Amino acid sequence: MGAAGFFLLYLIVFLAGMHLLKKGLSILSGHAMRNWIYACINHPVKAFMAGIIFTGILQSSSAVMVIVIGLVSAGVISFKQTIGIILGTNIGSTFTTQLITLDIGSLILPLFIIGFLCFFMGVVLKKEALIRMCAAFMGLGALFSAMSGFGRLAYPLSQLGLVNELLLYTNEHSFAGVISGTLLTAIIHSSAATVGIIMSFLNADILTLSAGIAYVLGANIGTCITGWMAAAAANQEAKLTAYAHIWVNVIGAAAFYPFISVCSAAVQNLSSQPDLQLAHFSLIFNVISSLALLPFANAFGSFVVSFSTFFSGK
């Protein structure tokens, strides 16, 4: 199996790990999360904090968006009540990015061992909570295994003709990095996986930090695909929620794009490790872009409605 084959294998392991982690943490979600979301939407700031917390729990902004779109589609909440949650999900999603920058090599085996013990105890004691914990630990183990694999494959992958040309091109043309990050994330439905792959190229000195930042901006746009797909067959309010998610990330990416070199120089002062530098940028970018829009949540909601109405001709 060549480098491309191993890359696909590690990507599958990464996505499977994300799925296991979300399944394991779902003991904290379900009906309780839906009730909490409904209780926390009567003010944009409360909804904003709820978005951060729920996304941190589920380790997926896409999962929270699907839940929120489902609530809107069912008529439980209105579109404008979701704006704060949407802004919060962007910050909550950075928890995963920070997580995968840990020194993961020594943690892989202990995580799998703890996961196996939780599963064994869960079966013996017939405790679902322990089995859920098994899924969470196994998921983390799979994530860290995939990240370790990405690191080993970074150089061999960079030597493949098309990949090498793309990486060299994005090092010189940031907009190509934004487009590539958007498309890759839209295809694999995981901005965390995209960022993880880019971190491995950064650590191998194959990509520049500026190019990595461009990929992160694109990944934030690409992650909107899941919510857009979830709302495709839903009512107009649900569609507006998906559109708002897209607008938030497009506006944020457009605002930061002209300052990629400035951001690159700034985060290099925060850490000497390229992957941490990128994780810090992701956090700073999402915090600033979300907080900047939060005071205008209601006006932003009205803009999305007006634009959608104008565009649809209704």
pLDDT score, position 100: 63
- What lies within 8 Å, CB to CB, of 282 at 6+ separation is 94, 97, 195, 216
Q: What is the pTM of this model?
A: 0.74
Parts of the chain with a pLDDT under 50: none
Tokens of 62: 């896409």
pLDDT score, position 38: 66
Q: CB under 8 Å, gap of 24 or more: what pairs does 230-234 form?
A: 230/65, 230/66, 230/69, 230/70, 231/69, 231/73, 234/69, 234/72, 234/73
pLDDT score, position 175: 93
pLDDT score, position 79: 85
Q: What is the mean pLDDT of the chain?
A: 80
Q: What are phi and psi of 59, to 5 degrees?
A: 60, 30
Q: Are 189 and 195 in contact (CB under 8 A)?
A: no
pLDDT score, position 254: 95
Instruction: Return the residue matching tokens 């950064």.
Output: 202
Q: Are 264 and 214 in contact (CB under 8 A)?
A: no
Tokens of 241: 């929620």
pLDDT score, position 266: 93
Q: Which residues of 272-288 are buried (b: 16+ CB within 10 A; e: fewer)?
A: eebbbbbbbbbbbbbee
Query: By C-alpha distance, which of 125, 119, 86 is closest to 243?
Result: 86
Number of structural domains (the chain) is 1
Q: What are phi and psi of 223, to 5 degrees?
A: -70, -15
67 vs 92: CA distance, rounded Å: 15
Query: By C-alpha distance, which of 9, 11, 20 is closest to 137?
Result: 20
Q: Which residues of 136-175 are buried (b: 16+ CB within 10 A; e: fewer)?
A: bbbbbbbbbbbbbbbbebbeebbeeeebeeebeebbeebe
pLDDT digits 0-9 by tens, 1-33: 666 677 778 778 777 776 776 677 565 555 555
Domain of 33?
3-312
pLDDT score, position 218: 93
Query: By C-alpha distance, which of 114, 70, 64 is closest to 90?
Result: 64
pLDDT score, position 273: 87
Q: Are 249 and 286 in contact (CB under 8 A)?
A: no
State the Cα torsion 288-48-247-75 to the nearest 10°.
180
Q: Are 108 and 116 in contact (CB under 8 A)?
A: no
171 vs 168: CA distance, rounded Å: 5
Largest CA distance in the chain: 61
213 vs 239: CA distance, rounded Å: 29
Q: Are 81 and 41 in contact (CB under 8 A)?
A: yes
Residue type, 79: F
